[in-house]
Amino acid sequence: MLICHGSTDAARRAAFPQDERLDDRGKIRAAKLVGHLPSVECCWTSPELRTRQTAEALGLIATIQTSLRECDFGRWTGRRLSEIAAHEPLAAKCWLRDPAAAPHGGEPILDLIRRVATWLADEHARNQRSIAVTHATIIRAAIVHVMHAPPQSFWRIDIAPLSVTRLTGKDGRWNLASVGCTLHT
């Protein structure tokens, strides 16, 4: 089960996130979900504050997994996509169309997908039910990998705060069971 962290200021502003905290709305909504998650053998979170705060608000005891860290947006971190498109239109277009591109000096989407694929392989080998509280980018990368979708489809997947994407697996293969579901209190 992949859970997207709660809402943040950067998400509302359509900005590339820094290591920011949850906003009040994100904390309140996550806290309402305590007790509504299935029992699992392990729980992971990315190193960023917003995912750790989400896991805590959900009542989870999570171990930091660096493979689940946010995409490195390089010098675009903290800036709005609209601002980048206005000041660096060719770089923004290139990045949105070419998953191997990294005009921001950070991590290309292809590398992100590979990183997540490696983590998923390790998870499959563990053969445990788990929850990972992470970022929309990580969840998109997992979906692209599991579905063998073209990397260009990465930006065509919407993942909302506190939404749940469920993967199932058997015989060394992951299946996409549900995408973007919301937990109900």
- Write the pLDDT tens digit of every residue in 117-144: 999 998 877 778 999 999 999 999 999 9
pTM: 0.94
- Write the pLDDT tens digit of every residue in 31-77: 888 888 888 999 999 999 999 999 999 999 999 999 999 999 999 99
Residue 183 — very low, low, confident or very high, per pLDDT cuts 50/70/90?
A: low
Residue bearing tokens 């860290």: 69
Contact 46, 64 (CB under 8 A): yes
The superfamily in CATH containing domain 2-182 is Phosphoglycerate mutase-like (3.40.50.1240)
Q: Which residues contact 28 (CB under 8 A, 6 or more apart)?
A: none
Letter string b/e over residues 88-118, b meaning 16 or more CB atoms within 10 A of that residue's CB: beebbeebeeebeebbbebbbbbbbbebbbe
Instruction: From 29, 28, 72, 16, select the one nearest 47 (Cα to Cα).
Output: 72
